[in-house]
């Protein structure tokens, strides 16, 4: 049987780190947003905007995409550093370092490092804006959008191709082991896994959040086994895998808690 342990481990570790960081900075982040939360209409608008963005990227020149995403990522780095340190002169340094590395020293290692940083930062930063209800709505809608843009329009694959050509850190590109090869996963999938784990930890316990993180990694392990065996797609809506793994973890948490209570 052909299988890979690298991507499942990375996904689980990133998601667990996201839960830990959110708990550490939850108070500051919520105070920044003045305890505001997304409503269902906000979540619907967010998913629509994400779907439109994927479509627009297909038709926008690569140079414009490059400028847009470098600007957006620099802002994310600045904002999160400022939240963490509350010092303006510290917050301006990470964006400068990021842009300099991208322009002059960029390679696959740096791409993966910054992709992970951005995925974690965005999950932690936006985690406080979601509630249990809105994160469920978001997970359902983004999975539908992902499915349509991958298999319906095909725009997700075209957009990913542009990102790969520009070497932007909007995905992780990791080797597989023990099977030889490599596999890529978009930040949106990692972002979704982080959001679900954060809200699971908030609703139940940190243990439940960690369980969901591990189960998402296990779901990717099973998905890759099927992918290597059947080779059924070059691009696949991995949000389906994330949601499936999270539901598995939620089920395991309830089973464990029932056994402890009995």
The tens-digit pLDDT sequence of the chain (262 residues) is 789 999 999 999 999 999 999 998 888 887 777 778 899 999 999 999 999 999 999 998 989 999 999 999 999 899 888 888 888 888 999 999 999 999 999 999 999 999 999 999 899 988 888 999 999 999 999 999 999 999 999 999 999 999 999 999 999 999 999 988 999 999 999 999 999 999 999 999 999 999 999 999 999 999 999 998 887 777 889 999 999 999 999 999 989 888 887 7
Q: What is the DSSP code string of the chain?
A: ---BSHHHHHHHHHHHHHHHHHHHHHHHHHHHTTT----HHHHHHHHHHHHHHHHHHHHS-HHHHHHHHHHHHHHHHHHHHHHHH--HHHHTHHHHHHHHHHHHT--HHHHHHHHHHHHHHHHHHHHTT--HHHHHHHHHHHHHHHHIIIIIS-HHHHHHHHHHHHT-SSEEEEE-SBSSSEEEEEHHHHHHHHHHHHHHHHHT-HHHHHHHHHHHHHHHHHHHHHHHHH---SS--THHHHHHHHHHHHHHHHHHHHHHH-
């Amino acid at each position: 049987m052909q299988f890979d342990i690298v991507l499942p481990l990375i996904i689980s570790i990133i998601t667990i780190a996201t839960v830990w960081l959110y708990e550490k900075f939850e108070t500051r982040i919520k105070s920044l947003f003045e305890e505001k939360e997304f409503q269902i209409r906000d979540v619907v608008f967010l998913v629509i905007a994400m779907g439109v963005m994927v479509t627009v990227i297909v038709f926008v020149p690569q140079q414009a995409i490059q400028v847009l995403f470098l600007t957006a990522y620099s802002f994310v780095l600045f904002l999160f550093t400022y939240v963490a340190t509350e010092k303006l002169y510290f917050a301006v340094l990470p964006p400068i370092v990021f842009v300099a590395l991208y322009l002059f020293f960029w390679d696959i290692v740096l791409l993966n490092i910054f992709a992970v940083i951005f995925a974690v930062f965005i999950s932690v930063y936006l985690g406080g804006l979601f509630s249990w209800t809105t994160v469920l709505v978001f997970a359902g809608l983004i999975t539908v959008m992902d499915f349509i843009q991958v298999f319906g329009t095909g725009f997700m694959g075209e957009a990913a191709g542009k990102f790969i050509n520009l070497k932007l850190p909007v995905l992780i590109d990791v080797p597989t082991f023990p099977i030889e090869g490599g596999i890529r996963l978009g930040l949106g999938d990692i972002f979704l896994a982080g959001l679900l784990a954060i809200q699971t930890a908030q609703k139940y316990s940190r243990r439940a959040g960690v369980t969901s993180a591990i189960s998402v990694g296990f779901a990717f392990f099973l998905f890759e086994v099927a992918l290597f065996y059947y080779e059924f797609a070059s691009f696949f809506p991995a949000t389906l895998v994330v949601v499936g793994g999270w539901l598995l973890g939620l089920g395991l948490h309830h089973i464990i808690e029932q056994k402890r209570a009995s």
